[in-house]
Structure 1
Amino acid sequence: MDFELSEEQSILKDSLTRLLADNYGFEERKKHMAAPEGWSAGMWGKYAEMGLMALPFAEEDGGIGGGPVETMIVMEALGGALALEPYFPTVVLGGGFLRLGGNDALRAELAPQVAEGSLKLSFAHTERNSRYDLNQVETAARKDGTGWRISGAKGVVIGGDSADRLIVTARTAGGKGDEKGIGLFLVDANAEGVTRRGYPMQDGQRAAEITLENVSVPADAVFGDPEDGLPLIHRVVDQGIAALSAEAVGVMSAMHALTVDYMKVRKQFGVPIGSFQVLQHKAVDMFVAIEQARSITYFATMMADSEDDAERARAMHAAKAEIGRGGTLVGQNAVQIHGGVGMTMEYAVGHYFKRMTMIDFTFGDSSYHLGRLAKMGGLFAT
């Protein structure tokens, strides 16, 4: 199987890597984090100029017609730079719902705005008692004439404090935990009845707690079937997991590079610590974990657009389980080899480990997905 990038994909990778290297050093990242939005509006504009926002959309919707491989390239580069901009919630998740569940009118209105960088989206799904199960939805949507009224609360909404529109899950029928009766609604983030409380997370990314009180949503602002939206949620989240896996590879690779460089300059007993065999073994263990993560990310990327729900789910469970395990190993070894400096806010490696930890917990940690994969009988059906 050919894993070589095409010429266009190689240009995308090189151009983005160069842009981030020139504009996203560790000190620059601190400045971006201190901005009112918690990220760089200037970099957001540069991403739009490069066409990154338009990547996943079809040409007829104002996009470039890229696929999971292009998303993988972008997310790995953003992970390597610890980029703070809300690309994942807007383009990967929001763009996924638009592409796969938006009607013609929604795509025509919103896709070009996302592509040019003028519209930011966020997926408001997690609730206080939902844990990792996507069918655990208590926020309620009731019919109101031809439209809907939504009431409920959402937590840890990634990018939610700066989003212009929210893609909200709400129950239209059934009870908590039922797989049927879940709808997806597009809500104006500044609509009457919407309250947001934004905050920085441990990894420097931004999130929000969102309360909806009798929020009015028109009939045409619904993604797919308002009583059977869970299959669409699973499909978009699976694509999100593939993208997060690619970001994790970027994060892990950066931690490994920082650690190897540190081993070359840090001295103990008059020699570089990189000359100690036990630390060389740890560095090799990190490298092996990264290559395993890269391999499972390739597999998840190839399966991201699969129409076979079960096979796609197996791939994403496997990817998330392996990424979480490998990321923990790489992060722990990186911090241990650095010693005390690895725990400080002034040094990058600890920030990478924090981001890796947050990736592990997003949409379910390693243990959760390993358990789900085991219930399905393993990676390959028998």
Structure 2
Amino acid sequence: MSLALDLESKSIIENTLRRFITESYEPTARHQRLKQREVDCLLHWPLLAELGVLGLPFDEAFGGLGGASVDVADALVVLARGLVFEPFVEAAIISGGILAARQDVQQREQAITRVIDGSSVTMTLGGRPGLPGELAYRKIPGGYRVSGTSCVVPFAEQADFWLLAAVDADGIPAVLRVPRREISASISGYRLMDGRPAADVSFDEATIPSSGVWIEGDAACQALRLASLRAVSAYCADAVGVMAMLVENTGEYLRTRVQFGVAIGTFQALQHRFADMHMRLIEAQAIARELAISIDEGTSEDQAWLRFAAASVVERAARLIGHEAIQMHGGMGVTDELIVSHCNARLVVLTRLIRAWVDEEVPLRT
């Protein structure tokens, strides 16, 4: 396993993230933000840029920190404990990786620099293998026309730029980069179960100039394949961090909640159920880390089956841990005042996002 960051650098980053969560995502303050009609999901975006967090996935040549995929995953496990609203995965990891695939060095560096310094937010629409045939494009004199609908796009309305992953009539993929406000689109916004914004975005023969093509053909296919791997890895790491917090909180509750004169953690039935939670967490941690390592070191075959395995194992673990945490806390486990309900909501959303980036056909490993 290769670590692009040394242990001291990793420790500094993780401690920085813990301090960020403590100072910016205190549970009561987070709950107050969540109760607002519209959650400002970019409130702490400039701070994350200032702390250097947004540069973690990018090479040092672009001004980033040069973190490997496993470094990014480890950081996400820590950041997950804040149940943050900011689009770190979507803007820096998924879209940032696609931006880095541009061959034109100057344009690539300009785009990535704006991601790292937090001056622009880019979201990817389409290109998710679990939702095939979302967007289509065709060439016209001087540009392109895009049609189709991309559903459940996190932070679509908050983005400055969109990356439209589309295919033409011959099945040739392309990624088109366009300022959000300069393209005709129908946007239906809403909030996900965990309070973060998302939208369904529809295009009806929307016009994009020729300069809007970011990558196409084999380069686009490769970039989207890598984006899929990074998306699943990042969301799995995020889910692992949330599950770890739930297991810790539930364990503490079992040790301190007293019934019939004893802590309920002494009841054998609850001990067995808690052991199942812990076992599922360990399984999810192992497969999520293996997937992250494979992105930089594994073969395409390893990456393909690990992506499916991670999605399946993490989804199963998230469902069990989330449900059991609520059950063991009793009725208050579903209240907004307890962090358990918010963790479960985040896990539900994360498992759906993971599935959107996974192919429907499972590859067989020979």
TM-score normalised by structure 1 residue count: 0.87
Q: Aligned with 1:190: secondary structure?
A: helix
Q: Does 2:342 match 1:355?
A: no
Residue 171 (structure 2) pairs with residue 162 (structure 1)? no
- Give the CA deviation at 1:331: 1.0
Partner of 2:123, secondary structure, is strand
Partner residue of 2:15? 14
What amino acid does structure 2 have at the position aligned with 1:133? Answer: G
Do the aligned residues in 2 keep the contact of 1:106 with 1:221 (CA within 8 Å)? no
Asked whether the equivalents of residues 126 and 134 of structure 2 are also in contact (C-alpha less than 8 Å), the reply is no
Aligned residue type for 1:45: P
Q: Which residue of 2 aligns with 1:74?
A: 75
In structure 2, C-alpha distance between the alignment counterparts of 1:102 and 1:252, rounded to whole Å: 39
The letter of the residue matching 2:233 is A
Residue 112 of structure 1: aligned partner: 113
Q: Which moved more, 1:144-153 or 1:273-282?
A: 144-153
| 1:37–1:162 CA contact under 8 A, matched in 2 | no
What's the offset of the Cα at 1:2?
Answer: 8.9
In the TM superposition, what is the alpha-carbon distance from 1:237 to its structure 2 partner?
Answer: 0.9
Alignment of 1:192-207 (within 5 A): 192-207=183-198
Give the secondary structure class of the aligned counterpart of 1:305. helix
Match for residue 335 of structure 2? 344
Q: What is the CA-CA distance between 1:79 and the residue it aligns to? A: 1.5
Distance 2:286 2:111 in 1: 34
Tell me, yes or no, if structure 1 residue 376 matches structure 2 residue 364.
yes
1:125 counterpart = 2:113: no
**Per-residue deviation, residues 281-315 of structure 1 (Å, max 9, x unmatched):** 22222112111111111111101235732221111
Return the letter of the residue paired with 1:221. G
- For 1:224 and 1:268, the matched residues in 2 are separated by 62
* Structure 1 stretch displaced more, 201-210 or 300-309: 300-309
Tell me the secondary structure at the aligned position of residue 223 of structure 1: strand
- Indicate if the aligned counterparts of 1:121 and 1:163 stay in contact, CA closer than 8 A: yes
Please give the secondary structure, in 1, of the residue aligned with 2:226. helix
Runs of 4+ aligned structure 1 residues displaced above 4 Å come to 1-5, 34-37
- 1:261 CA drift (Å): 1.7
Query: Quick one: structure 1 residues 340 and 36, their matched pair in 2 at CA, closer, same or farther if it must change by over 3 Å?
Result: closer
Between the aligned partners of 2:219 and 2:153, the Cα distance in structure 1 is 22
Task: Give 3-state SS (helix, strand or coil) of 1:312's partner.
Answer: helix
What per-residue deviation string (whole Å, max 9, x for no partner) do you get for residues 123-142 of structure 1?
Answer: 1117xxx8x535x2153212
The aligned amino acid for 2:115 is: V
Distance in 1 between residues matched to 2:37 and 2:96, nearest whole Å: 25
**Length, aligned pairs only:** 365
- Normalised by the length of structure 2, the TM-score is 0.91
Query: What residue is the counterpart of 1:53 in the other structure?
Result: 54
1:72-91 Cα deviation digits (max 9, x unpaired): 12211221111111111100
Q: Is the 8 A contact 1:184 1:226 kept in 2?
A: no
Matches of 1:7 and 1:247, distance apart in 2: 22
Cα distance, 1:22 vs structure 2? 2.5
Does 1:328 pair with 2:319? yes
Q: CA RMSD in A?
A: 2.5
Q: Write out per-residue CA displacement over residues 257-295 of structure 1, whole angstroms, 9 at most, x where no aligned residue.
A: 111122123222122211212212222221121111111
SS at match of 2:101: helix
Higher relative contact order (CA 8 A, sep 6+): 2
> What fraction of aligned residue pairs are identical, expressed as a percent?
27
Q: Please state if 1:284 is matched with 2:272.
A: no
Spell out the pairing of 1:1-382 with structure 2 (5 A cutoff): 6-34=7-35, 38-101=39-102, 103-125=104-126, 133=130, 136-174=132-170, 180-226=171-217, 229-306=220-297, 308-364=299-355, 372-373=361-362, 375-377=363-365, 381=366
Structure 1 residues 138 and 205: alpha-carbon distance in aligned structure 2, compared to 1, 3 A threshold: closer
Structure 1 unaligned runs (5+)?
A: 175-179
CA contact (8 A) 1:341 1:347 kept: yes
What letter is aligned with 2:286?
A: S
Contact 2:150/2:200 (<8 A) preserved: yes
SS for the counterpart of 1:84 is coil
Q: 1:111 to 1:299 in 2, by over 3 A?
A: same
Checking the alignment, whether the CA contact within 8 Å between 1:123 and 1:158 is kept in structure 2 is no
